[in-house]
Structure 1
Amino acid sequence: MAGRIRNEDVQTVKERASIEEVVREHVTLRGGGVGTLKGLCPFHDERTPSFTVRPAVGYFHCFGCGEGGDVLDFVQKIDHLTFTESVERLAGQLGLTLRYEEGGGADGGGPQAPAGQRMRLMEAHRVAEEFYHDQLLSSGEGRAARAFLREKGFTGEHARQFMVGYAPRGGSVLSEHLRGKGFTDEELVLGGLSARSSRGLYDRFRGRVVWPIRSIAGDTVGFGARRLYDDDRVAAKYLNTSETPIYRKTSVLYGLDLAKRAIATERRAVVVEGYTDVMAAHLSGVGTAVATCGTAFGGDHISMLRRILRDEAGRAPARVIFTFDGDAAGQKAAMKAFEHDERWAAQSFVAVAAEGQDPNDLWLRGGPEAVRALVDGATPMFEFAVRTTLAPYDLGLASERVQAMRAVAPILAGVKDPTLRPEYVRDVAGWMGVDPTALTVEVTRAAAAPARSGGSRTAAPPVAAEHGVPGADLSDPVQVAERHLLQVALQYPLAIYPADMDELPAAELRAPVHQAVWHAVKEAGGVYAAEGASVAGWTRAVLARTPPAVQGLVHELAVAPLPTRLDPETGTPTEAYVDSLVLRVRLAASEQRIAQTISRLQRLTPGTPEARRVDEELMALQREHAKLKDRMN
């Protein structure tokens, strides 16, 4: 199993990938000053450009929403990829071969192929996707598949939009096609496109409608296939790609490559049950719809969606809506989803049509409005779970009401916000027609009882909250000077610094967040250590020594424009400007020390040895302060 990408390869990707070129694929950039480009932020709606890129530094920052980082951070955020996925994507574009450390899984777990092999397998799937799609649209044998899609309400244009295909019934038609494109038998078997028998290679999918399953980055990594013919030797109605080095069914969602932008923008995800349901939802204007691929919705899917939804404690809650059929299987699936409800910070809902139709059926019979109404009218997951649990009981009978209370008590005991529990208890008691006090007793008992094997859901670990360092007060002129001094230190390693700048203790800065950055600068060797280094390399050195909670500020400071003209010959701030920043910070620290010393002196008895010592200390501080003021003048 491949492990972590080697650090030197990550650095090579960062150095060779042009942040300007990568950002320009998503943002129209214009000049924003010396060495600076600006545009409208792709991460939030704005009318005035506040998104800034400094190519020489290799960083971006939005002064509107606060997003920032290097080229890998941009790719991660814009395409909702993991760190490893973003490195692999850029490496592929640059033609670089990545090396992996032995042991330790890469993001996502499961078997991992070497980067070169992964590229070959994904290319084989891309060619297979085009082959299947061409078979659907133009082959005589594809008529059965076209008829199936028409019955579902889809046209040829819809099939092209989602690249739906048809797998011919012949035993090795795709395999022969891929061999002709230069792919080896080993690659086809490893990728799950073909299988071996005593007679040789044969296609995994035969005589079926096929949907390409793509990674979040948009690369085709597998297929889902539906049976068309009654004499199909494989009894399963739906057949999916088996586990391969590039495909894990628990880590992919059909349609996510199309839906990720809308999910991130709306902070809403709609989870449906099938491929045609995703198509119908998207064609109805519900562009946030996704579906699992032959497996139940589980933990890996939650992690993936939470990353895109920015599902974090402290934010306004996102929404996750599950649509299920109205039959017993649909109810069972809904209750299975409810078991994972504690893993979300998001609000979760269930949407079940009145007559139990799935989104594809609704689209066929009621049009796009019916699908949108289904999603908009979703019921909170908690309420759905309670009503589903109560459904088997005759609440007109006292004995069954008692049993029903005991059945719903674990659900109420598991409500993630304990302050809401009394309200929920009152609501549920009203639905049941029981005394809230009696139900509270059962809930208390359920909360105290140990979890039973196979019983009610168990709570997941709490959602982690980032505790950042207190921010700077930019209404304070001294803290503004501190900020500008840090900008100079990060952006201009060839500037002429005053001799005492490197000696400035971090404790002399007022803002704790500025102290943390200045401490990282000193840990990286101080401002003079930057001489001869590239701006990007120097910023990386500082970032490596910066606490995670403060790294966002370093990204911001590395691109923020300075409110001063640069020296036209050197392209750096003037020596006088830098000196004025250092003096302003040092004077403020000096004044604070003098005030503290005067306060100490006032608490001492005049004439005592301690008072004389502190008095001498005060005079020394005042002499130092006078020298600093002379420099300022």
Structure 2
Amino acid sequence: MSLIPKETVDQVLALADITEVVGDFVSLKKKGQNMWACCPFHHEKSPSFSVSPAKGIYKCFGCGKAGNSVQFIMDIEGTSFPEAIKFLAKKYHIDIPEDEPNPEYAKEQSERDSLFIVSDFASKHYQQLLHNHEQGGIGQSYLKQRGLSNNTIRKFELGYSLDEWTNLTDAALKAGYQQKYLEATGLTIAKEDGKKYDRFRGRVMFPIHNVSGRVVGFGARTLKSNDKKSPKYLNSPESDIYHKSNVLYGLFQAKQAIRMQDMCYMVEGYLDVLSLHQGGIENVVASSGTSLTEGQIKLIARYTQNITVLYDGDAAGIKASLRGIDLILESGLNVDVVTFPEGEDPDSYIQKVGDTNFKNYIKEKAQDFISFKTSLYAEEAKGNPVKKAEAIREIVASIAKIPDSIKRTVFFRSCSLIFDIDEQVLISEYNKMQLQDRQPSQKPGSSPFEAPVGLPVEEEPEKPVSDVDVLKRYEREIVRMLLNYPNQMLEEGVTTCQYMLEQLEDVEFRTPLYARLMELVKEKLCDNVIPSAEDFVHYPDQEIRTEATHLLSDPHELSHNWETHQIFVPKETDLLPYGAERAVLRLKWRNVELILKGEMEKLRLVTDPQEQDNQLNNILMLKQLHSQLGDMLGIVVNR
């Protein structure tokens, strides 16, 4: 496989706007100069994920993930640098000159990238068969019968698998893809005797995309009504790129609409998504027959805090899936519910009543989940005290999942009115549940109301900070200032870069990463170029890129209200001459201290009187220098 030309990589880096790239995966909100969101890489309820449009970087101050646009795609997709460049090139319509795939192509890819590539090949193969093969007419007839237009079929990349044993496998091997990747994605099934065959045969194919639009698996519906042995729907098995619990069908096509409308409709099947999307309800996704999982809820929470679950008109099915919604409540999201007439599902109902009537029906029938569940259980428990008590406990258990105390209070009041029971009784039951949840973590014999006294047994005393760690911190501060303010004038004719490099000319950086960064700064200056943030954020070495992003990120922003009220708060740039001087002095002081310790150790090993005198004079000079630097820093007692 040919390498991506540097000119193309540079073009991608120049065009890939960090706000646009991250905004495809996360709902960003402006605060100060930066954009903020809840981190897509770990679970959190308060936003600590920052995007700096000016610097072209992102940084999570919770989990530490950081980088530029390319790194973000690598982090969120778990893919390689070349594949991330290709992804962004496609987004920004940049052509990448590469040779056609050859038999060695897959071998040169990382294992994970190869699974994506094989899945993409299969998707395109199935699409080509649907539209161009005579057997594909069977699939087209079915899809048209279900009311799907050509635009919808192409938008969701629907396809057809021929009713032949090895059609896909043969085509993939001929194109140069390795059989092990076909097996790893579940597209090919291999027997112990060496025989192999396609998993999907004679089925309409529904490609399942991840949030960036890459095919990770397939859902497949058989069109053989007389085949009782095969399941109606067959899905790809779990693989390194396909985890059912972390994927939602249709999310790639729906994410922009979800963000724009601040609402996600949740349905059950592929055709529900396709019919609603075609009917103008594009903010719709499906869990594809699985119970809702925490991973799927996190995906939705990137784009909205509001979910409306559209239930089929099947009472037994509704009851069975209620517990899954407790997970949504626990995540702090708002959940509404809409049920359809018995025997109807979203697909059949929109086909029956039309787009406009369907939208009106959703608006009229939507109710919050707690009220819906309360009414459902209250109806079932009529005239039966035992069932009523069980129902109340069920409702309280759901309300207990809600992290917001105000919402809990509102729902307790609503529940008390529907069940005609004192609100305080519900709150007491809630408190009892909370107490029971905490008890397993209590130590035998201890009271849940007793505050721990002293240092917990399992905790260890904090370890003292080593000299190396302290030095690393001082070196980091120097590099941070150089990256953030390289061209800032400290005094007339002297920039931060010039001042620090002159002052630290004889100081050797002991932290390898910061030593490398300092060398890069010097190289730029030797070429008469002032280093910029982009030079480091887009540097080929990932360790350099990541650390540069950390150093360029600031978790604190000054509220504009301070300026509005004419309250002056000095910024770091206002105090930069003082800060730069202090940073240089601290590093020198710490370096001298470490050198002094080393010389003291050497003195113990010296036996020759003349050498001892020389060593003592050397130590005396270092002590004087250390004391002078300490005086300049205002340090009275050394650490």
Q: TM-score range by the shorter chain?
A: 0.5 to 0.7
Structure 2 counterpart of 1:142, one-letter code: G
1:273 maps to 268
Once the two structures are superposed, residues 134-168 of structure 1 have per-residue CA deviations (whole angstroms, 9 ceiling, x without a partner) of 32233333333223212321133322222211112
For residues 373 and 249 of structure 1, the distance between their equivalents in structure 2, rounded to whole angstroms, comes to 32
Q: Where do 1:69-468 residues align within 5 Å?
A: 72-75=67-70, 82=76, 84-85=78-79, 87=81, 89-90=83-84, 115-197=109-191, 198=193, 200-232=195-227, 234-306=229-301, 308-309=302-303, 318-355=305-342, 357-373=344-360, 375-376=362-363, 377-394=365-382, 396=383, 400-450=387-437
For residues 233 and 490 of structure 1, the distance between their equivalents in structure 2, rounded to whole angstroms, comes to 74
For residues 43 and 20 of structure 1, the distance between their equivalents in structure 2, rounded to whole angstroms, comes to 26
1:531 maps to 522
Structure 1 counterpart of 2:15, one-letter code: R
Per the alignment, do residues 81 and 17 of structure 1 end up closer, same or farther by CA in structure 2, a change over 3 Å counting? farther
Residue in structure 2 matching 1:497, options 488, 495, 498: 495
Structure 2 counterpart of 1:489, one-letter code: P
For residues 535 and 71 of structure 2, the distance between their equivalents in structure 1, rounded to whole angstroms, comes to 21
Structure 1 counterpart of 2:415, one-letter code: V
Per the alignment, do residues 119 and 328 of structure 1 end up closer, same or farther by CA in structure 2, a change over 3 Å counting? same
For residues 432 and 358 of structure 1, the distance between their equivalents in structure 2, rounded to whole angstroms, comes to 30
Per the alignment, do residues 188 and 446 of structure 1 end up closer, same or farther by CA in structure 2, a change over 3 Å counting? closer
Per the alignment, do residues 499 and 94 of structure 1 end up closer, same or farther by CA in structure 2, a change over 3 Å counting? closer
Once the two structures are superposed, residues 321-360 of structure 1 have per-residue CA deviations (whole angstroms, 9 ceiling, x without a partner) of 2222121453145313223134423222223224463221
Structure 2 counterpart of 1:236, one-letter code: P
**What's the secondary structure of 1:532's corresponding residue?**
helix
Per the alignment, do residues 490 and 277 of structure 1 end up closer, same or farther by CA in structure 2, a change over 3 Å counting? farther
1:564 maps to none
**What's the secondary structure of 1:153's corresponding residue?**
coil
Cα deviation, residue 181, structure 1: 1.8
Per the alignment, do residues 351 and 538 of structure 1 end up closer, same or farther by CA in structure 2, a change over 3 Å counting? same
For residues 544 and 125 of structure 2, the distance between their equivalents in structure 1, rounded to whole angstroms, comes to 50
For residues 267 and 253 of structure 2, the distance between their equivalents in structure 1, rounded to whole angstroms, comes to 14
For residues 374 and 430 of structure 2, the distance between their equivalents in structure 1, rounded to whole angstroms, comes to 13
Structure 2 counterpart of 1:280, one-letter code: S
Cα deviation, residue 83, structure 1: 6.7
Structure 2 counterpart of 1:246, one-letter code: I
Per the alignment, do residues 388 and 140 of structure 1 end up closer, same or farther by CA in structure 2, a change over 3 Å counting? same
Cα deviation, residue 434, structure 1: 2.5
Cα deviation, residue 88, structure 1: 6.2
**What's the secondary structure of 2:110's corresponding residue?**
helix
Per the alignment, do residues 547 and 183 of structure 1 end up closer, same or farther by CA in structure 2, a change over 3 Å counting? closer
Task: Tell me if the contact between 1:205 and 1:225 (Cα under 8 Å) persists in the aligned partners.
Answer: yes
Cα deviation, residue 579, structure 1: 12
Cα deviation, residue 294, structure 1: 4.6
Once the two structures are superposed, residues 302-321 of structure 1 have per-residue CA deviations (whole angstroms, 9 ceiling, x without a partner) of 23333x32xxxxxxx72122
Which stretch shifts more, 238-247 or 530-539?
A: 530-539
Cα deviation, residue 223, structure 1: 1.0
Q: Where do 1:533-572 residues align within 5 Å?
A: 533=524, 534-535=531-532, 536=534, 551-553=552-554
1:8 maps to none
Percent of pairs with identical residues: 23
Task: Tell me if the contact between 1:127 and 1:178 (Cα under 8 Å) persists in the aligned partners.
Answer: yes
Task: Tell me if the contact between 2:17 and 2:56 (Cα under 8 Å) persists in the aligned partners.
Answer: no
Per the alignment, do residues 190 and 62 of structure 1 end up closer, same or farther by CA in structure 2, a change over 3 Å counting? closer
Once the two structures are superposed, residues 454-490 of structure 1 have per-residue CA deviations (whole angstroms, 9 ceiling, x without a partner) of xxxxxxxxxxxxxxxxxxxxxxxxxxxxx99985337
Cα deviation, residue 170, structure 1: 1.7
Structure 1 counterpart of 2:554, one-letter code: L
For residues 81 and 586 of structure 1, the distance between their equivalents in structure 2, rounded to whole angstroms, comes to 34
**What's the secondary structure of 1:553's corresponding residue?**
coil
Once the two structures are superposed, residues 565-615 of structure 1 have per-residue CA deviations (whole angstroms, 9 ceiling, x without a partner) of xxxxxxxxxxxxx9997569899xxxxxxxxxxxxxxxxxxxxxxxxxxxx
**What's the secondary structure of 2:196's corresponding residue?**
strand
Cα deviation, residue 502, structure 1: 4.8
For residues 428 and 34 of structure 2, the distance between their equivalents in structure 1, rounded to whole angstroms, comes to 55
Per the alignment, do residues 423 and 253 of structure 1 end up closer, same or farther by CA in structure 2, a change over 3 Å counting? closer
Once the two structures are superposed, residues 263-312 of structure 1 have per-residue CA deviations (whole angstroms, 9 ceiling, x without a partner) of 34444332221111111222223322222245322122223333x32xxx
Cα deviation, residue 203, structure 1: 1.2
When the two structures are aligned, how many residues end up with a matched partner?
Answer: 463
Structure 1 counterpart of 2:255, one-letter code: K
Aligned-CA RMSD value: 5.1
Structure 1 gaps of 5+ residues are 1-11, 30-41, 52-58, 96-112, 310-316, 454-482, 504-519, 558-577, 588-623, 625-633
Per the alignment, do residues 125 and 337 of structure 1 end up closer, same or farther by CA in structure 2, a change over 3 Å counting? same
* TM-score, L = length of structure 2: 0.59
For residues 407 and 51 of structure 2, the distance between their equivalents in structure 1, rounded to whole angstroms, comes to 41
Cα deviation, residue 18, structure 1: 4.6
Structure 2 gaps of 5+ residues are 21-25, 36-49, 90-106, 441-479, 502-510, 525-530, 559-571, 582-631, 633-639
Task: Tell me if the contact between 1:240 and 1:293 (Cα under 8 Å) persists in the aligned partners.
Answer: no
Task: Tell me if the contact between 1:253 and 1:290 (Cα under 8 Å) persists in the aligned partners.
Answer: yes
For residues 357 and 369 of structure 1, the distance between their equivalents in structure 2, rounded to whole angstroms, comes to 17
1:569 maps to none
Per the alignment, do residues 189 and 525 of structure 1 end up closer, same or farther by CA in structure 2, a change over 3 Å counting? closer
For residues 168 and 84 of structure 1, the distance between their equivalents in structure 2, rounded to whole angstroms, comes to 32
Task: Tell me if the contact between 2:326 and 2:398 (Cα under 8 Å) persists in the aligned partners.
Answer: no
For residues 289 and 397 of structure 2, the distance between their equivalents in structure 1, rounded to whole angstroms, comes to 30
Task: Tell me if the contact between 1:326 and 1:352 (Cα under 8 Å) persists in the aligned partners.
Answer: yes
Once the two structures are superposed, residues 66-118 of structure 1 have per-residue CA deviations (whole angstroms, 9 ceiling, x without a partner) of 978999533576x79617347463266799xxxxxxxxxxxxxxxxx995333
Q: Where do 1:29-44 residues align within 5 Å?
A: none
For residues 178 and 167 of structure 2, the distance between their equivalents in structure 1, rounded to whole angstroms, comes to 15
